[in-house]
């Protein structure tokens, strides 16, 4: 009887992980419901069954959240800052996903769910790009789609901002690339899925995502060798002219990426946020109260400001909100979560099991960290939840040890 109950619980956990992945590109509410279920299961796993292997990432994440609470307590707007701390709960996705203790087979199914869902959103985003608000949003609120020439629009999917959409989609794209490399019998359909996700990234007009995509392609080519380098160069040579032809405003948007005059606001955002950190070097201004400080630091700049919400750089934002200690803890957290995948990818035989998936997912993680230089992805719930899914998957596929114990692993092996 106990084994039967355990079997039902294990299947429920596996189904929840897959559902979480399917919701990530489409619905933050759906993903958060799944995450809540996973966290309840995780608490049972740890405190009742007492089966949890402590990882460096767990400690680093706990330290980052704890310091964020300390920074809120010392903020000039401590009550308001403390009220924002619960938003950090989405970072517990790492804990919830690993505590589910599902098999690698289930993780592959979850990756398929993520990629298929993202491909549909890529197609939907393409429709938004050409037809704007004529494309219905169904159950989610309407948003103002960017319209540079009166003809083309930013793709946002079901999210409320094109940057959220683009930076979520790059993580989905390289998850699809990982499946493409290992699932040889399904490559044609996976290539179509990846192409649709790529279209979504391009039509998001998210320059941070574009730069990250280029970085990720170069990194994966470096990891996989000369053939991938050549394939990447050929793909770029074919796709870039094609994209510029079908959507001329993409070319204009790309050009602005490298024009200082067009990026003065972003540059001054970084400078004023660094000034905040310099004035509050230990605990920062406190999480969630950036708007209360930002206008004071902008008084001497004669430019048109279009955002007051964050610094468009996660590392600078961490320093501004939680001091340089907070920024250091964020870097340590990323170092911890990257440790095992990097060790596995750069220390393993390229032909070994799970190498390609681990390499692709690690590349997606690296793209997230790179994009954080230009966008506050670490403070964007939709992007963060997708990052932790990818990071948990990368750590599972590179892990040769059981997450809990041999008995659990044997029950999960064919599930």
Question: Is residue 348's pLDDT more than 80?
Answer: no
pLDDT reported for residue 349: 66
Give yes or no for a contact between 383 and 171, defined as CB atoms under 8 angstroms apart.
yes
pLDDT reported for residue 244: 73
Give the C-alpha separation, 396 to 354, whole Å. Answer: 10
pLDDT reported for residue 49: 76
Q: What is the pLDDT of residues 170-221, one digit of tens each?
A: 999 999 999 998 998 899 999 999 989 999 999 999 999 999 999 999 999 8
The rounded percent of the chain whose pLDDT value lies above 70 is: 93
How many structural domains does the chain have? 1
Q: 1-10, 113-122, 360-369: which has the minimum mean pLDDT? A: 1-10
Question: Is residue 407's pLDDT more than 50?
Answer: no
Higher pLDDT, 95 or 133: 95
Give yes or no for a contact between 212 and 370, defined as CB atoms under 8 angstroms apart.
yes
Question: Is residue 409's pLDDT more than 60?
Answer: no
Least Cα distance to 204 among 262, 263, 247, 141 occurs for 247
Give the C-alpha separation, 234 to 296, whole Å. Answer: 49
pLDDT reported for residue 382: 96
At residue 347 the predicted structure's pLDDT band, cuts being 50, 70 and 90, is confident
pLDDT reported for residue 393: 96
Which residues have CB under 8 Å from 242's CB, separation 6+? Answer: none
Q: E strands within 63-179? A: none
| Domain span holding position 174 | 2-412
**Taking the CA of residue 390 as centre, how many other CA atoms within 13 Å lie in the half-sphere pointing to its CB?**
34
Give yes or no for a contact between 333 and 378, defined as CB atoms under 8 angstroms apart.
no
Q: What is the pLDDT of residues 121-167, one digit of tens each?
A: 999 999 999 898 888 888 788 888 877 666 788 999 999 999 999 99
pLDDT reported for residue 16: 97
pLDDT reported for residue 404: 38
């Amino acid at each position: 009887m106990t084994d039967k109950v355990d079997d039902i619980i294990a299947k429920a956990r596996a189904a929840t992980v897959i559902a979480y992945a399917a919701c990530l590109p489409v619905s933050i509410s759906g993903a958060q419901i799944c995450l809540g279920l996973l966290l309840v299961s995780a608490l049972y796993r740890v405190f009742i069954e007492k089966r949890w292997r402590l990882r460096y990432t767990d400690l680093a994440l706990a330290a980052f959240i704890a310091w964020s609470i300390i920074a809120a307590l010392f903020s000039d707007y401590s009550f308001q800052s403390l009220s924002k701390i619960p938003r950090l709960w989405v970072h517990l996705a790492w804990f919830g996903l690993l505590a589910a203790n599902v098999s690698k087979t289930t993780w592959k199914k979850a990756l398929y769910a993520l990629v298929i869902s993202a491909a549909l959103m890529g197609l939907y985003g393409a429709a938004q790009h050409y037809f704007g608000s004529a494309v219905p949003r169904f159950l989610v609120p309407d948003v103002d789609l960017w319209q540079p020439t009166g003809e083309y629009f930013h793709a946002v999917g079901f999210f409320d901002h094109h940057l959220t959409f683009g930076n979520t989609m790059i993580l989905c794209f390289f998850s699809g690339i990982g499946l493409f490399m290992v699932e040889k019998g399904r490559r044609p359909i996976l290539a179509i899925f990846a192409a649709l996700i790529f279209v979504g990234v391009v039509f998001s007009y998210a320059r941070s995502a574009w730069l990250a995509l280029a970085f990720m392609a170069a990194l994966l080519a470096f990891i996989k060798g000369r053939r991938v380098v050549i394939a990447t160069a050929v793909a770029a040579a074919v796709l870039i002219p094609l994209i510029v032809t079908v959507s001329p405003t993409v070319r204009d948007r790309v050009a602005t990426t490298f024009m200082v005059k067009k990026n003065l606001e972003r540059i001054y955002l970084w400078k004023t946020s660094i000034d905040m950190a310099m004035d509050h070097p230990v605990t920062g201004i406190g999480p969630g109260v950036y708007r209360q400080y930002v206008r004071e630091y902008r008084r001497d700049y004669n430019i048109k400001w279009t955002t007051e919400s964050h610094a468009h750089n996660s590392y600078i934002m961490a320093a501004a909100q939680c001091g340089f200690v907070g920024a250091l803890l964020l870097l340590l957290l990323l170092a911890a979560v990257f440790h095992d995948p990097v060790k596995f990818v750069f220390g393993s035989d390229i032909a070994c099991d799970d190498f390609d998936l681990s390499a692709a997912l690690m590349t997606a993680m690296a793209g997230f960290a790179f994009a954080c230089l230009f966008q506050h992805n670490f403070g964007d719930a939709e992007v963060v939840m997708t990052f932790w899914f990818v990071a948990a998957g990368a750590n599972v596929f590179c892990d040769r040890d059981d997450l809990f114990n041999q008995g659990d692993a044997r029950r999960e092996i064919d599930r």
